[in-house]
Structure 1
Amino acid sequence: MRPRLAAAAIFLAGFVPWAGASDQWVAVRDVSLEFQSGSPLDFSAFLPNGAIDADHRLITGEGGHLAHAKSPDKPLRMLCASLAWSPASGGFPDHEGAERYARQLALHGYNIARLHFADASLMSGRQKDFDFNPYTLDRIHYLLAALKRNGIYWIIDGLSSPRGAYGGYDDRWDANGDLKLRLHLDEEAFAHWRTLQEKFLGRVNPYTGVAPIRDDALALVILANENGIEFDSVVHERPGEPAYDQALAGPFNAWLAKRYASSDRLAQTWGELGDDERLETGTVRLPADRYGDSARMRDLQAFFSEAEGVSAARMSKVLRDLGYRGLISTYNNWPTVQTALARRDLEAVTMNTYHDWVGGYAPGSALSQVSSIADGANYMRRIAAARWLGKPFIVSEHDHLFWNRYRYEAGLVMPAYASLQGWDVLCRHGHGPIVLAYGERYPHKKAMLPYAIALDPVARAGETLAALLYRRGDVAASGISIPFAVRGEEDLGEDMQAREPERLTELALIAGIGLVPADRFEDAVGVAQPRTQGAGEVLSALRDSGSLPHDNQTDTERGIYESDTGQIRLDRRAGQLRVSTPATEAAAFSSLREPIDLGVLRIEQADGNGLVALSAINRQPSLAQSRRMLLIFATDARNSGMVFRDSEEKIIEDFGSLPVLLRKGHVDLALSRGAARWTISPVGLDGTVYPPVRSGAGPIAFRLSNDTPYGPTTYFLLELEDG
């Protein structure tokens, strides 16, 4: 989870009450949010979760993709449920709640879950080191067993909280504490981390009969969440204090001493040394400004990469010695050249990414209210360029955050492009992806908040669509893989923020991209080294080779990008993303100046921005033949009584409270097929199917409003009868 940063004070003439009382916003009536089996939102019939056993343990299969141990040639797509509970969001459920919750996750289409900040929950309110709360430990153990019974694998952080399992702290979910940095530097911190793994992952779960570390359900351990040295330094930087912790100075000097024969040799390379700086006495200083480019900074980045590689190897050995056979990853954020080198030798790559990041929940927290489509899905592209080809790639966190008014885009952007890239796990971050009901008494359940997607009908509609586009595989993987060659340390520059250039990450909107060692580059692709070119040159080479169809409509100058599969089309200037597949057709749009023809579905007009999707919901889905289809229409949602400090609604003053309000909207839709009879029925947020609100015979065309007689919703069921 991203750290909470102090927001700068903003002085304005007065607060701006959000226009939630307007008749353009209607209150959600649903209370229970539990699906019943057989609901149109129950995907378990065509997305079944099987048994988890030795044959179905997740491994790295052929092509570097996740697969079952017994069928390494069959890649899997894993839709992940983020479980980042804290006391403020209700904590881990009791046994009965865990059974219901795990079952609901399976019905929603999730087949893997990530436990995040479990260490903080176990140590909340505890005064002694490793004195886990026995009730919390029991609930975690029971939940893990319930997830496994429902065919849901586990991802677990070896460390989430910088307080680890030290007793006596009440800020375990904050960015305080230096354990993540010290893991790289001192033996006591490493020993603490090792003991944490032994006492939590190595302890037998009474409900499964085996320790999690040896359970076939544990697919991935993230050694420590967001554990890069540079990032941790940024998190802990404070005004007036040094950019880097002084604890790094000694190890950095020792590293320099091995590399350079003398202070004179170091000065020749760097071009300068202070009068009081001598390599022989270990007095070479850390950079005073992390944003100042220098040879000193270049060497510091090289030191970080080497130190991080050593740390990851040491921690991985601990897990292996405990009997762990699953995948291991770490350094799951910051797509810089330096962090890419640190991830080079990992078994799997994990990455976190956000669009319109929010620093916290306090009054004054702000976002930019910009569209992710308008910037070419940059939050997706920057992690695409952090992937090492030939290894499983796991998106351990992503979100397009509340209260951004364009967040309906997330339900199309991330699952569509994750599918195109052939990524292995997709995890939209939140306290939990679902809740069983509105109205829980916990502070973080009393209103929609950033990093809390479960209460947000717009985010939930996006996750519903993700189960179809991504896990079901409606969007096909690219047939092209464009590698970015990495030489190693020589790729480091003097800028600590250096990353793959945007002119090249644009290629992720068209085909698969990722990193490869330079010595494998020639075998990987028949075009020149990508870093020396622009996207246009690479695309021309792909067209000339026949890899990219000549009728592909990509025009980077005009901001139009079409995938090599022909299924995805992004238009930056129009603010539109279109997906057309045999099983699902969808569009996210900030403007609709003319109709959007997706094939079977045509969006004639809309009264505002939003997301429209039509999906066949049967075992062999085809929009051209299906008689039962799920229609999604998502606009925007807010809390009642929200207050902003500005008219553009960028700066929050008060999040308000439940009930959730949906922005009223309508769209005019038409299908290229007809039926002897057709009906459109609203589907509640709990999956209940209500009586039809539209019906007809012959051609299918209708106006759809999300404000139904049964309350506002984002879901509808289209049913067709043949004559």
Structure 2
Amino acid sequence: MKSLLSALATTLGVAASGAAAAEEWLPVREVSLEIRPGSPLDFSGFLPNRPIGQKGAAASQRITVRPDGRLAFADAPGEPARLFCASLAWSPASGGFPDHAGADRYARQLALHGYNIARLTFIDASLMIGRQKDFDFDPETLDRIHYLLAALKRNGIHWIIDGMTSWHGAYGGRDERWDPAGNLKLALYLDDAAFAHWKALVEKFLARVNPYTGTAPIHDEALALVILVNENSAEFESVVHDRRGKPPYDPMFAAPFNRWLAQRYASSAELAKAWGGLGWSEKLEDGSIRLPPDRYADSPRLRDLQAFFVELETASVAKMSAALRALGYKGIISTYNNWPTVQTALSRRGLEAVTMNTYHDWASGYAPGSKLTQQSSLGDAANSVRMAAATRWLGKPFIVSEYDHLFWNRYRYEGGLVFPAYAALQGWDALCRHAHGPIALAYGEPYPHKRAMLPYAIALDPIARAGETLSALLFRRGDVATSRLTIPFAVRGEADLGPDMQAREPERLTELALLGRIGLQDADSIGERIAVRQPRDANRPDAIVEKLKADGLLPTGNLTQLSAGLFQSDTGEILLNRRDRQMRLTTPATEALAFSAASLPATLKTLTVEGADGDALVALASLDAPASLANGSRFLLIYATDARNTGMIFRDREQRVIEDFGRLPVLIRKGHVDLRIGRSARQWRLSPVGLDGTVKPAAASGTGPVAFRLGNDLLTGPTTYFLLELKD
């Protein structure tokens, strides 16, 4: 049977390759991926990081919350800070924390790429690998983490740190630290011993003096945010622990749920009336009310369980936050950083800052048979962005602690435009594309997760890396303007809960996030402003758009037509065409187009894409200071198609199901695009730029109007970057 399945998989893999026979794939030739200082990919000159903790400047470099809820550096409170975040989620499979020399190189490279904050997650798992006793941190790993934190700080990179990430915390004797088999996250809500374990973990790591900084991280001005526990909402954790034949909710919730019900209802009869009946053996008086048997079967029982979870989660935040403050922490606290439901929105209502994780085309894993959908993020009108936007509470900092447009989705060239552009439009405070690490120093590192591109890892993927390069410009540099329009989503409180445990903000209403800022707001504080009211099904999004136009909140000539799948921001800078799978960005410093080849030609203000041989992303960004497409002379040109590993095999023609991820070298899909730049020059030159920033010999040059065919099949090897230089 095993040999038969193998033969079948191979046959299907050949068929999948045959379906893509028209595509050609070019092997990446670079080995070193370290950006060369002073190269076109070195952004540290115009995106300098502020020194942290230098003598006399410690307090001024702390990240603070402004009165309007935006984050800012304490020495520049008038200017909102856009924090471009490097995700550091290392494990042994991805190489673990680097040694001292490696940390110095890595932190410096992050600064060159434009990162000014880093999120460290699964620290607890790394510290406890192979340890048999509770809190017996591996001394070498602890030393490496401490040194890395110091190296980041020296390079002006602040920190976001999880209080706890692993389901096993710092318990000894656990074999697989990244396996969600442990029950600690759920136990934290109800068990004093579990809470004491979390508190001790925080104290033993965050409150321990770092010998390389001379202070404990919890007191360090570099620590901007603590996420109490990663992805810890009660419903989500219950879903994570779903197993066939097992009840959907842990029995530990039964007794406290019964006590909660007893405070709400005077008798079994009253409860039965509210729920439409009870089971024959259920009695409120003896605490025998059962937890819902099915989380997907809507019921009044599920409605009350949601209300119970809100109170439980709110109390948990207060208790954990108090413990962190008692240790002397003065920074920002958040938690419940995923799960965009109405219930979790209510639990986040009182947080100091909202953090959120969101993904486009979630991949089910690394094993053969893992799946994704191969859907376009433009084809679903940036739903993962809209989903996150609808979890924000207006007036509070909003941090995207994880996002990605996942490998091996063929449309992930869209991710580097869609997410940073809309994050900037929304005025979000920090943006973190999830990865083991966002960069690698070289191809060919001898670790299992570095031998090929994989989901949830972007460092080896030239398409994702091109997107992060663009993100540094659009989001951190501020090339995309924040919307002047705010559309509140009214929240009443528990009255908004219904019988559906999975209920979230309706997609037809979250499309408003493609026009301007959206977020949750207490209904009583909204007044007569244009808003999404309760109940949600009473709102007509078309009517809201008409009202915005009539009141002048959307400019005359705004092209938005919801029914046609056409969405233009109030700033006029972003235009998304859902039906054509095309997104246009037009700003003074950068223009970009993510497109299906069938949607061309497309003319922006400066950049015209006349045609292409396949779907791709093209972006033109000024490298001058000040950045200007109209007057600048040096431009970074990004052209991203797709990339895959050598020898990848799929089980189906649509390439949705993976059989074998293959191996290095990475292959970039061959392509070309015909471009015209709305400038004339006495002389112009186009040069390929290697993935390490090295400028290669010119591929094209000319005089007068700037127009050329841009291809990635080059004598020096394929790339996603080009340098365009104009001399007037």
- 1:402 and 2:407 matched: yes
Q: Secondary structure at the match of 2:453?
A: coil
Q: Distance in 1 between matches of 2:532 and 2:363?
A: 40
Residue 563, structure 1, aligned to residue 557, structure 2: no
Q: Determine if the alignment matches structure 1 residue 575 to structure 2 residue 581.
A: yes
Question: Using the alignment, how far apart are the partners of 2:656 and 2:531 within structure 1?
Answer: 46
Distance 1:249 1:173 in 2: 28
Bigger shift: residues 70-79 or 362-371: 70-79
Aligned-residue offset at 1:618: 2.0
CA shift in 2, pair 1:530/1:717, >3 Å: farther
1:73 CA displacement: 2.3
Q: Structure 2: which 5+ runs fail to align? A: 1-5, 53-57
1:73 is matched with: 78
Match of 1:659 in 2: 665
SS in 1 for 2:36: coil
1:595-636, Cα deviation, whole Å (9 max, x unpaired): 111111100100000100000012200001110000000000
SS in 1 for 2:103: helix
Equivalent pair of 1:61/1:74 in contact (CA under 8 Å):
no
| Alpha-carbon distance in 2 for matches of 1:12, 1:209 | 56
Preserved contact between residue 527 and residue 542 of structure 1 (Cα < 8 Å): no
Is 1:16 matched up with 2:13? yes
Q: Are 1:90 and 2:90 matched, yes or no?
A: no
Tell me the CA shift for residue 68 of structure 1. 1.3
- Cα displacement string for residues 190-243 of structure 1 (whole angstroms, at most 9, x for unaligned residues): 000000000000100000011000100000000001000000000101111111
Inter-CA distance 297–23: structure 2 relative to 1 (3 Å threshold): closer
Alignment partner, residue 362 of structure 1: 367
**1:16 partner SS:** helix
Give, in angstroms, the shift of residue 15 of structure 1.
3.0
Question: Which residue in the other structure is 2:3 paired with?
Answer: none
Of the candidates 244, 266, 269, which is equivalent to residue 264 of structure 1?
269
The alignment's TM-score, normalised by the length of structure 1, stands at: 0.97
Q: Which residue of 2 aligns with 1:296?
A: 301
Match of 1:623 among 600, 612, 629: 629
Tell me, what secondary structure is at the counterpart of 1:200? helix
Aligned to 2:598, what secondary structure does the other structure show? coil
Partner of 1:46: 46
Change (3 A) 1:511 1:298: same
The answer for the alignment partner of 1:546 in structure 2 is 552
- Within 5 Å, give how 1:515-530 maps onto structure 2: 515-522=520-527, 525=530
Query: Which of 124, 139, 145 lines up with 2:144 in the alignment?
Result: 139
The residue identity in structure 2 corresponding to 1:436 is: L
> Could you tell me which amino acid in structure 2 is paired with residue 692 of structure 1?
A
Q: Which of 588, 594, 615 in structure 1 is aligned with 2:594?
A: 588
Using the alignment, how far apart are the partners of 2:68 and 2:424 within structure 1?
A: 15
Question: Residues 470-499 of structure 1: CA distance to partner in whole angstroms, max 9, x if unpaired?
Answer: 000000000000000100001000000111
| Of 185, 193, 209, the match for 1:188 | 193
One-letter identity of the residue aligned with 1:491: D
For 2:393, the equivalent position in structure 1 comes to 388
3-state SS of 1:613 partner: strand
- Once residues 132 and 226 of structure 1 are traced to their aligned partners in structure 2, the CA distance between those partners, rounded to angstroms, is 23
The answer to whether the Cα contact below 8 Å between 2:10 and 2:649 also exists between their aligned partners in 1 is no
- Which whole-Å CA distance do the structure 2 matches of 1:644 and 1:595 have between them? 33
Which has the larger displacement, 62-71 or 458-467? 62-71
CA spacing shift, 1:564–1:348, aligned 2, 3 Å: same
Q: Is contact 2:489–2:533 with CA below 8 Å preserved after alignment?
A: no
- For residues 384 and 393 of structure 1, the distance between their equivalents in structure 2, rounded to whole angstroms, comes to 9
Alpha-carbon distance in 2 for matches of 1:231, 1:536: 33
| Aligned-residue offset at 1:62 | 3.3
Name the CA distance, whole Å, in 1 between partners of 2:13 and 2:542.
45
Q: How far 1:70 sits from its partner (Å)?
A: 2.9
TM-superposed deviation, 1:706:
0.9
Stretch of structure 1 that moved more, 534-543 or 647-656: 534-543
In 2: Cα distance, 1:467 partner to 1:524 partner: 34
1:548 is matched by which residue type in structure 2? L
Aligned to 1:708: 714
Amino acid of the structure 2 residue aligned with 1:554: T
Aligned to 2:233: 228
TM-score, normalised to structure 2, is 0.96
How far 1:274 sits from its partner (Å)? 1.0
Q: Distance in 1 between matches of 2:12 and 2:598?
A: 32
| Structure 1 match to 2:476 | 471
- Rounded to whole Å, the distance in 2 between the matches of 1:419 and 1:309 is 30
- Is 1:62–1:72's contact at 8 Å kept on the other side of the alignment? no
Please give the alpha-carbon distance, in whole angstroms, between the structure 2 residues aligned to 1:247 and 1:155: 31
Question: Alignment partner of 2:355: what SS?
Answer: strand
Residue 23 (structure 1) shift: 7.2
2:317 matches 1:320: no
Give the share of equivalent positions with the same residue, in percent. Answer: 66
Residue number among 167, 176, 186 corresponding to 2:172 in the alignment: 167
CA contact under 8 A between 2:582 and 2:599: conserved in structure 1? no
- Measure the CA separation in 2 of the matches of 1:272 and 1:317: 41
- Correspondences of 1:481-560 after superposition (within 5 Å): 481-522=486-527, 525=530, 531=536, 532-560=538-566
**CA offsets, 1:73-114, max 9 Å, x none?**
210100000000000000000000000000000000000000
CA contact (8 A) 1:110 1:152 kept: yes
SS at match of 1:668: strand
State the one-letter code of the partner of 2:180: A
**Distance verdict in 2 for CA 1:313–1:528, change over 3 Å:** closer
| Greater Cα offset, 239-248 or 429-438 | 239-248
Letter matched to residue 51 of structure 2: A
Moved more, 585-594 or 511-520: 585-594
- In 2: Cα distance, 1:219 partner to 1:427 partner: 14
How far apart in 2 are the matches of 1:638 and 1:369?
Answer: 14
Give the corresponding residue for 1:428.
Answer: 433
| SS of residue matched to 2:575 | strand
Q: In structure 1, which of residues 581, 594, 612 is the aligned counterpart of residue 618 of structure 2?
A: 612
* Contact 2:117 2:159 (8 Å CA) reproduced: yes
Asked if structure 1 preserves the Cα contact closer than 8 Å seen for 2:111 and 2:157, the reply is yes
Does the 8 A contact of 2:391 with 2:519 survive in 1? yes
Cα RMSD, aligned residues only: 1.5
- Structure 1 unaligned regions, length at least 5: 1-8
Report if the CA contact (8 A) 2:688-2:721 is conserved.
yes
